[in-house]
Structure 1
């Protein structure tokens, strides 16, 4: 298990949040954070930037914090009291999950990805949020939560952009494994919960409906035709990457956090040995 308990403790001590009442999720779905909601500017901009920067480091072993940290990072230039309250909620969540870490186990040598997007989620500019996670066996080895750089005109387009990023990451990992002499036991699979996106990726006749999507994103279909990977549909209730695109209910969050292999240290990893290390 990879844990940063010592670092998290230092972060909570720095902000006076050690021992604070915990919350089940790091961020609420409503109200949505915006750049300016009329609340006063936060007095200590340096503190805000420092704490969010520390949260970014915690994300190395805590993919469950990726979305909220990415969201809070968007207000570094001029944080408000509202943004600081959102940071304190994340810290309360951390206070209740200090003993959690990334549990890595032995398993099959296969790559699986989950790709998702929250269409037009940004109130200010209606840009979407991409999220993906790539597993090697049962272990998450790469994940991302990021605001898209352009506006998508449909949910399928937003999902397709996220899918392309996931494919790129997965193939990079596959190439690295090949270079060290490790070959996959199965063709890599990426799971997407948007049926239109899956159809566009697999069927060239559907591409005329999405010509406004940049050409470079169509390398996804080329990789599929070359047999490098396959893209399949997964119901939204089983879409693990959902936790990387938006705030979700405590029940969903707990389920997806476990799927991301973020577990408390008291939970034994499903291996013969249970070694724990600090990052």
Structure 2
């Protein structure tokens, strides 16, 4: 710590402020705040989730409630509206809180409900981002990247000031929370944060052009079954610099996309089968985590999750022990997937490459092909009838914001 400018003590320049209490910006302040809040929730009958530390669940007879915490913002939902009202009243005795009513805007994500389901989008955030980088008038485009292109660290000339690229890509990364269709492009851009070039900046602007064209696009969640279907795919030795593969997966609950990823593998795979099998192990881990989460929510599955892969050899390794001698270097992944498959915790199925939806996470496509894959991911435009509406009273959700430190 140093003396702030304008308040220096010339007679004692070595003096600094003595800290008597924790202040909000310190690293330990969020931990202290979370401990205080979790203690209060546990005393009210909530149980802390073992798979997601920010989730608290409540189950008593026919009453079920779920509370999600992000720093000092809280989402709570229940099948009994009276329980939500009593919970808020109880928390307000110890915390200075403000009830924002029905969920409409949370962490830059806009939520709009109608009779068919829940629409999530980030229209305001994207418009603010375009305005911040002075590209509000940029020409729209139908796809976030050019088909067949792979970014290399040797493309283009180094940027004189890379800070704008880093700020823009960092802001775009947050958009992937609700726009999984740009996950592959963001995976490419984030790999060049250290030394961005003009080619990388052009690719970033290409993503902005796509977002300009799809301002009201987002995820659409509708009620239905809780069957789990996961799709995985890998682009073998796709990186032009280190020849590592890019793997992508998408996990659906019913018709709703719940989890997705586009990630470069940490090691080089010597064959497409090994690259696909590593991706298969990754999505199996995600599916197993989701099963544990649904179990805590007291939601039972009628059938084991199904994982769809377009590589027959990878499926054969998981189901046929005779392939083990050829796959010693992926021994851990082999045992993990084989165990889940043998215990019928997962079901492995083959899918045609032409209809594999996770192709959108592993490579660039033409605009028509990209739109075809995007439609399979339950990413759609907001209906014109809902534009301008920010809330609806058809569901029992509340958005709570904590405005200050806990009352003493």
**Separation in structure 2 between the aligned mates of residue 10 and residue 242 of structure 1, nearest angstrom:** 30
**Separation in structure 1 between the aligned mates of residue 149 and residue 301 of structure 2, nearest angstrom:** 44
Question: Who is 1:157 aligned against?
Answer: 274
Structure 1 position 218, deviation (Å): 2.6
**Separation in structure 1 between the aligned mates of residue 137 and residue 322 of structure 2, nearest angstrom:** 58
**Separation in structure 2 between the aligned mates of residue 149 and residue 217 of structure 1, nearest angstrom:** 17
- The counterpart of 1:181, out of the listed 298, 304, 307, is 298
Question: Who is 2:114 aligned against?
Answer: none
* DSSP-derived class of the 2:337 partner: helix
Contact 2:148 2:363 in 1 (8 A): no
Question: Who is 1:229 aligned against?
Answer: 346
* DSSP-derived class of the 1:132 partner: strand
Determine if the alignment matches structure 1 residue 16 to structure 2 residue 147: no
Larger Rg: 2
Aligned residues: CA RMSD: 2.0
* DSSP-derived class of the 2:344 partner: coil
Return closer, same or farther for 1:172/1:31 CA change in 2, 3 Å cut-off: closer
- The counterpart of 1:74, out of the listed 191, 200, 224, is 191
**Separation in structure 1 between the aligned mates of residue 132 and residue 161 of structure 2, nearest angstrom:** 14
**Separation in structure 2 between the aligned mates of residue 210 and residue 252 of structure 1, nearest angstrom:** 34
Question: Who is 2:178 aligned against?
Answer: 61
**Separation in structure 2 between the aligned mates of residue 76 and residue 234 of structure 1, nearest angstrom:** 35
Question: Who is 1:111 aligned against?
Answer: 228
Return closer, same or farther for 1:72/1:185 CA change in 2, 3 Å cut-off: same
Contact 2:145 2:364 in 1 (8 A): yes
- Stretches of structure 1 that go unaligned for 5 or more consecutive residues are none
**Separation in structure 2 between the aligned mates of residue 274 and residue 218 of structure 1, nearest angstrom:** 49
Contact 1:113 1:170 in 2 (8 A): yes
Structure 1 position 267, deviation (Å): 7.2
Write the mapping of 1:17-32 to structure 2, written as runs, cut at 5 A: 17-32=135-150
Question: Who is 1:35 aligned against?
Answer: 153
Question: Who is 1:91 aligned against?
Answer: 208
Question: Who is 1:143 aligned against?
Answer: 260
More strand by share: 2
1:187-224 Cα shifts (integer Å, max 9, x gaps) = 11000010101111111112222222142443111101
Structure 1 position 46, deviation (Å): 1.1
* DSSP-derived class of the 1:2 partner: strand
**Separation in structure 1 between the aligned mates of residue 319 and residue 334 of structure 2, nearest angstrom:** 13
**Separation in structure 1 between the aligned mates of residue 186 and residue 283 of structure 2, nearest angstrom:** 20
Question: Who is 2:329 aligned against?
Answer: 212
Contact 1:268 1:274 in 2 (8 A): no
* DSSP-derived class of the 1:213 partner: helix
Q: TM-score of the superposition, structure 2-length normalised?
A: 0.64
Deviates more, 1:187-196 or 1:41-50: 41-50
1:88-115 Cα shifts (integer Å, max 9, x gaps) = 1110011000010111111101111000
Question: Who is 2:375 aligned against?
Answer: 258
**Number of paired residues?**
273
Contact 1:17 1:95 in 2 (8 A): no
* DSSP-derived class of the 1:182 partner: coil
**Separation in structure 1 between the aligned mates of residue 367 and residue 331 of structure 2, nearest angstrom:** 36
Structure 1 position 249, deviation (Å): 2.0
Deviates more, 1:252-261 or 1:59-68: 252-261
**Separation in structure 2 between the aligned mates of residue 128 and residue 267 of structure 1, nearest angstrom:** 40
Q: TM-score of the superposition, structure 1-length normalised?
A: 0.93
* DSSP-derived class of the 1:183 partner: coil
Return closer, same or farther for 1:222/1:84 CA change in 2, 3 Å cut-off: same
Structure 1 position 244, deviation (Å): 0.4
Runs of 4+ in 1 over 3 A off after TM superposition: none
Structure 1 position 169, deviation (Å): 0.3
Structure 1 position 250, deviation (Å): 1.6
Structure 1 position 78, deviation (Å): 0.5
Structure 1 position 266, deviation (Å): 2.1
Structure 1 position 31, deviation (Å): 4.0
Return closer, same or farther for 1:241/1:48 CA change in 2, 3 Å cut-off: same
